[in-house]
């Protein structure tokens, strides 16, 4: 076990979770301390991941059931950083609802642990374990505001539907195991026989489970309700972090064991991608609640990220990872804005609450303007480049239909982003919102806006970071 230091991040994180849990239980009123410690844990884990695993060659541990390569290291670091950002912006919100408890950061840490295991997995069982760990933590997080009926409803809904999809996924795993004789990705790859249709069924079932986790159409139904009902800070977590992990698994699952069956799954993925892009764009138009709107918009964005995966090339994978990174950044900014719409200890989340924001809060409005145009994919903002790379990868594979449908749905999507801008800039102003936001909230909004805005000056850096991903 000379390679144990490669899983040091996971070991450290699990020990920290246990320690924090015990610490939080025995020391009264320690939520603030636990929060700070959790932040430190996340950072330390990210640093360990960076030190121990970036730059090493592909290594497999524990009977080849865990894989450490550049993809997994990078995605783990991104997951950790995203979770860190979610934690730092959520404290004010939680305090307002008096749910600033020790469980919140600990649950987030546990789900992050689950995601890290998912990202590392090279085996169906390990992957499933990670998935369930993160899901269980997420169910509780969704109901975290337990006095609120909508929050409980969201949690229950998420639990029931997620359990169903986990069942499907597990069934798919068992089919794959049955026809290849192993749960290990490498063994599966060597045992592939494309004539066996049941194997294709297995892939489809697993894909359904995964599509559910990243809320791709037609497995998206839970997303709007859960996003709306959960506390906003948890919604932020939902829209960002699990998607990073699930996308990685998507890539790993399709490209390691089943690359030779690309003809079989590519069509399914193209369908998922097109359906998500179109549905996300069209369904968002009628929304009046900002969180529901974000839910639909995130469905659309998942479609674009999947479009990169369909390409079947390293370029495609890299482009969808760039997409998800930029998407995380934009979402962080968007939710920072949502978390600032607060007046007299009440948060506002209707679209018309944005009305005339540009007069009362010009800086907030201009940040939101930049973020929304970026989400719509208008150059020269970061969101444009995200789409640009994805479609470049797609067109290189001559998938023009996907590219054209995708780009046309950006036009439809532009409509509802513009509607928000219209409400902010063209409509009459309402009462002012509070301006005493925490430092971290302001920081995350400013930082994400600036990064989105000046991304076009340094586009190469991000490409350089992901260009080392090479799993085919």
Partner 1 sequence: MNFPILSSLILLPSIGALFLFFTRGNKKNNFTTKYVALFTSAVNFFLSIYLWILFDPSTSNFQFVEERIWIEDFINYKVGVDGISILFILLTTFITPLCIISVNNSIKERLSEFLIAVLIMESFMIGVFCSLDLVIFYLFFEAGLIPMFLIIGIWGGARRVYSAFKFFLYTLLGSVLMLVAIITIYWLNGTTDVVELYNSGIDIKYQNLLWLAFFSSFAVKTPMWPVHTWLPDAHVEAPTAGSVLLAAILLKMAGYGFIRFSLGLFPTASEIFTPLIYTLSVIAIIFTSFIALMQEDMKKLIAYSSVAHMGYVTLGIFTIQQQGIEGSIIQMISHGLVSAALFLCVGVVYDRMHSRLINTYGGIVSIIPKYSILFMLFTLAALGLPGTSGFVGEFLILMGAFKDNFLVAVIASIGVIIGAAYMLWLYKRVVFGKLVNTNLRQMFDLNRSELFILSCLAVPTLFFGFYPDPLINTIEVSISDLINQYNFKLASQI
Site residues (vs partner 1, CB under 8 A): 358, 362, 373, 378-380, 384, 388, 391-392, 395-396, 400, 403-404, 407-408, 410-411, 414-415, 418, 421-422, 425-426, 456, 459-460, 463-464
Give the three-class secondary structure for 184. Answer: strand
Q: Angle at which helices 382-396 and 439-454 pack, to 10 degrees?
A: 50
β-pair type (342-343, 66-68): unpaired
Contacts of 115 (CB under 8 A, 6+ apart): 79, 130, 134, 241, 242, 244, 245
Q: Which CB, 416 or 433, lies closer to partner 1?
A: 416
Q: Which CB, 95 or 392, lies closer to partner 1?
A: 392
Q: Which CB, 19 or 400, lies closer to partner 1?
A: 400
**Least distance to partner 1 from the beta carbon of 400, Å?**
7
**Least distance to partner 1 from the beta carbon of 239, Å?**
24
d(CA 247, CA 232): 23
d(CA 29, CA 78): 31
d(CA 291, CA 281): 15
Tokens linked to 123: 């085996």
**Least distance to partner 1 from the beta carbon of 457, Å?**
9
Q: Which CB, 352 or 396, lies closer to partner 1?
A: 396
> Do 150 and 228 meet the contact criterion of CB atoms below 8 Å apart?
yes
Contacts of 457 (CB under 8 A, 6+ apart): none
Q: Which CB, 380 or 438, lies closer to partner 1?
A: 380
Q: Which CB, 160 or 363, lies closer to partner 1?
A: 363
Which residues lie across from 350 on neighbouring strands? 289
**Least distance to partner 1 from the beta carbon of 414, Å?**
6
**Least distance to partner 1 from the beta carbon of 421, Å?**
8
Q: Is the peptide bond before 218 cis (omega within 30 degrees of 0)?
A: yes
Of the candidates 405, 411, 289, 267, the one whose C-alpha atom is nearest the C-alpha of residue 350 is: 289
Q: Which CB, 269 or 399, lies closer to partner 1?
A: 399
Q: Which CB, 276 or 319, lies closer to partner 1?
A: 319
Q: Which CB, 302 or 453, lies closer to partner 1?
A: 453
The values of phi and psi at residue 431, to 5°, are -60, 155
**Least distance to partner 1 from the beta carbon of 287, Å?**
17
**Least distance to partner 1 from the beta carbon of 391, Å?**
6
CA dihedral in degrees (191, 76, 11, 37; nearest 10)? Answer: -160
Q: Which CB, 237 or 391, lies closer to partner 1?
A: 391
Q: Which CB, 94 or 414, lies closer to partner 1?
A: 414
**Least distance to partner 1 from the beta carbon of 247, Å?**
22
* DSSP code at position 121: B
**Least distance to partner 1 from the beta carbon of 290, Å?**
19
CA dihedral in degrees (191, 195, 197, 202; nearest 10)? Answer: 20
**Least distance to partner 1 from the beta carbon of 407, Å?**
4
H/E stretch holding 62 reads none
**Least distance to partner 1 from the beta carbon of 460, Å?**
5
Letter string b/e over residues 200-236, b meaning 16 or more CB atoms within 10 A of that residue's CB: bebbbbbbbbbbbbbbbbebbebbbbbbbbbbbbbbb
Please work out, in degrees rounded to the nearest 5, the angle formed at the alpha carbon of residue 132 by the alpha carbons of 182 and 237.
135
d(CA 354, CA 341): 8
């Amino acid at each position: 076990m000379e390679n144990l230091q490669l899983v040091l991040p996971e070991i450290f994180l699990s020990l920290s979770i246990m320690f924090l849990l015990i610490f939080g239980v025995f020391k009264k009123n320690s939520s603030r301390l636990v929060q700070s410690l959790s932040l430190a844990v996340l950072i330390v884990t990210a640093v360990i991941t960076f030190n121990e695993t970036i730059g090493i060659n592909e290594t497999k541990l524990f009977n080849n059931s865990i894989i450490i390569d550049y993809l997994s290291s990078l995605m783990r670091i991104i997951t950790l950083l995203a979770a860190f950002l979610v934690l730092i912006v959520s404290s004010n919100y939680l305090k307002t609802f008096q749910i600033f408890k020790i469980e919140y950061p600990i649950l987030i840490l546990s789900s992050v642990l689950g995601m890290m295991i998912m990202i590392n997995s090279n085996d169906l069982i390990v992957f499933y374990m990670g998935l369930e760990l993160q899901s269980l933590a997420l169910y509780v997080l969704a109901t975290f505001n337990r006095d609120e009926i909508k929050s409980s409803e969201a949690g229950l809904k998420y639990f029931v539907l997620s359990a169903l999809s986990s069942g499907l996924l597990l069934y798919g795993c068992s089919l794959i195991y049955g026809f290849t004789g192993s749960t290990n990705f490498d063994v599966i790859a060597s045992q592939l026989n494309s004539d066996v249709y049941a194997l294709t069924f297995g892939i489809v079932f697993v894909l359904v489970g995964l599509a559910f986790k990243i809320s791709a159409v037609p497995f998206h139904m839970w997303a709007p309700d859960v996003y709306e009902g959960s506390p906003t800070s948890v919604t932020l977590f939902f829209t960002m972090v699990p998607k990073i992990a699930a996308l990685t698994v998507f890539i790993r699952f399709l490209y390691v064991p089943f690359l030779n069956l690309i003809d079989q799954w590519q069509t399914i993925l193209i369908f998922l991608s097109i359906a998500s892009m179109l549905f996300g764009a069209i369904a968002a138009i009628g929304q009046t609640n900002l969180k529901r709107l974000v839910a639909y918009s995130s469905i659309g964005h998942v479609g674009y990220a999947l479009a990169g995966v369909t390409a079947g090339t390293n370029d495609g994978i890299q482009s969808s990872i760039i997409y998800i990174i930029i998407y995380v950044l934009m979402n962080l900014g968007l939710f920072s804005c949502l978390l600032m719409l607060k007046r007299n200890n009440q948060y506002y989340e209707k679209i018309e609450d944005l009305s005339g924001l540009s007069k009362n809060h010009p800086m907030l409005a201009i940040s939101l303007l930049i973020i929304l145009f970026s989400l719509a994919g208008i150059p020269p903002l970061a969101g444009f480049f995200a789409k640009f790379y994805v479609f470049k990868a797609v067109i290189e594979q001559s998938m023009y239909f996907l590219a054209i449908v995708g780009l046309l749905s950006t036009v439809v999507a532009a409509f509802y982003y513009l509607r928000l801008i219209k409400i902010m800039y063209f409509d009459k102003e309402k009462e002012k919102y509070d301006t005493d936001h925490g430092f971290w909230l302001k920081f995350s909004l400013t930082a994400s806006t600036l990064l989105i805005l000046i991304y076009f000056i340094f586009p190469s850096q991000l490409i350089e970071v992901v260009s080392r991903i090479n799993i085919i």
